[in-house]
Structure 1
Amino acid sequence: MKKKIPVITIDGPSGVGKSTLSYAISNKLKWNFLESGYLYRTIAYYITKFNIPLKEKKIIPILKNIKFNFKYINNKIKVIFENKDISKKLCSEKNSIISSKIAIFPYIRKWLLYKQRKFRKFPGLVTNGRDMGTKVFSDALIKIFLITKIKERAKRRCLELKSNGFNINFNFLLKKMKERDNRDKNRIICPLKPDKNAIIIDSTNMNFKNTLQIMLKYIYKKLKNINNKT
């Protein structure tokens, strides 16, 4: 019987630190990495660049032209479009809002499902998003769901945006994050929620290092138990 490629999923709302934590874990394990949100953000970038109406029937024809060109430079994900690094543009709040809105479109989610699963390669995959553990990799070996109080998430997101050169009002961002949470939790297709087998970690009062240590402790214990059984 062919050995199944192991997957670790890290889900949760925006601003909980999924990206940096999952990338750090993939480095520790020397596993492959997938930032699922960048797939949606890249589509959102195309929509903005070519002034495409935010309607699924208008977006579907352009999907075949979208190529996801990811590179890892200095431990950071770089998205290359027409030989230019567009990573910072993908992180803008405008792009984030558009990517959230297209995430409710059934065809786009189905189209991306195939793309996401192609990242599953040996020795393993660490991925993050909103439905990685509940839908995309429902058979994942380890599932983690991160939560953080929304004001703390907005604070972190503000710092992230400012570090990337964006100036944004905290109260405006807080309002937009609440709206996105509502969209993600109440959408009909793959709503944001923890898988029944996920370990839930609240990082509200923890820094990056503390949260990473807790996650790695759980992951190493789980991997050790599995290796002992085989």
Structure 2
Amino acid sequence: MKRVIAIDGPAGAGKSTVAKIVAERLGCTYIDTGAMYRGVAWKTLRQSQEATDEAILRAVHDIDVRLSCTESGTHVTVDGTDVTAEIRTPEVTHIVSRVAALGAVREKMVELQRTMAAEGAVVMDGRDIGTNVLQNADVKVFLTASVEERARRRYDEMRAKGYAVDLEELKQEIASRDKQDSEREISPLRQADDAVLLDTTTLSIEEVAARIMELCE
């Protein structure tokens, strides 16, 4: 059974949900790298009125981001504060791509991610896991889906949490984030040469998880 699994893909492709399921079935630790970048974004907004590059770099300089897996899911702490819910707000989502594009931020997060992976079997999801963070992963998967489907999923998720969101605006935001993530100079979003492509547009979460499990066996 393969023990180091890298799952990459754009926003809303289902990475986190599927990765959690696969990690549980394999008995691995799930590492949500996107939550780590959101933690930096959260701290930036907490410290500064505007998310300038300087503000982001101040926030990440001595940041302590930790993930803990519990029965209720993955909990995220930043400098000792549980920010599991706060990092999922529209305000954090709006700036997270900008945060993740800065080299100093990526260096800090990748260092933490590799340390976590070195401690045992992991399922790690993000945008540059197979191409950068865990280049020697046993299994690499690149999940994708249409912009329309990804926006619908995010719309349902945000509405369920009580946020007033507009579907068309979400489509534009996701398309813009795809562009930013794919065109950034440092570790851009792309499919690793040895990754298996899975289009989740018409697949259920269970179907996607089952396909990844087959790759792991």
2:44 to 30, 47, 53: 47
Alignment of 1:1-230 (within 5 A): 6-51=3-48, 53-80=50-77, 85-121=82-118, 123-220=120-217
* Residues 97 and 180, structure 1, Cα contact 8 Å, conserved in 2: no
Give the C-alpha shift of residue 6 in structure 1.
4.2
CA separation in 1, counterparts of 2:144 and 2:78? 33
Match of 1:223 in 2: none
Deviations 1:146-177 (A, max 9, x none): 01011000000111112222221101111111
Instruction: Give the aligned residue type for 1:47.
Output: T
Moved more, 61-70 or 166-175: 61-70
Q: Which range moved further: 35-44 or 61-70?
A: 61-70
Which whole-Å deviations, capped at 9, do the CAs of 1:10-69 have from their partners, x for residues lacking one? Answer: 000010110011111111111122100011000100111111643333333332442223
Specify the SS of the correspondent of 1:210: helix
Q: Distance in 2 between matches of 1:62 and 1:215?
A: 36
Q: How high is the TM-score relative to the length of structure 2?
A: 0.92
Contact 1:53/1:59, CA 8 A, preserved across alignment: no
- How many residues in Structure 1 have an aligned counterpart in Structure 2? 216
Structure 1 position 84, deviation (Å): 5.5
State the identity as a percent. Answer: 25
Quote the offset at 1:210 in angstroms. Answer: 1.2
1:83: how far off? Answer: 6.6
Instruction: Give the SS at the match of 1:8.
Output: strand
The offset of 1:141, in angstroms, is: 1.0
Structure 1 length-normalised TM: 0.87
CA shift, 1:186, in A, is 1.0
Kindly tell me: are residues 50 and 61 of structure 1, through their superposed partners in 2, closer, same or farther at Cα, counting changes over 3 Å?
closer
What SS is found at the alignment partner of 1:194? coil
Q: What is the root-mean-square deviation of aligned Cα atoms in Å?
A: 1.9
The structure that has the greater radius of gyration is 1
Contact 2:3–2:28 (8 Å) recurs in 1: no
Report deviation, 1:81.
5.0
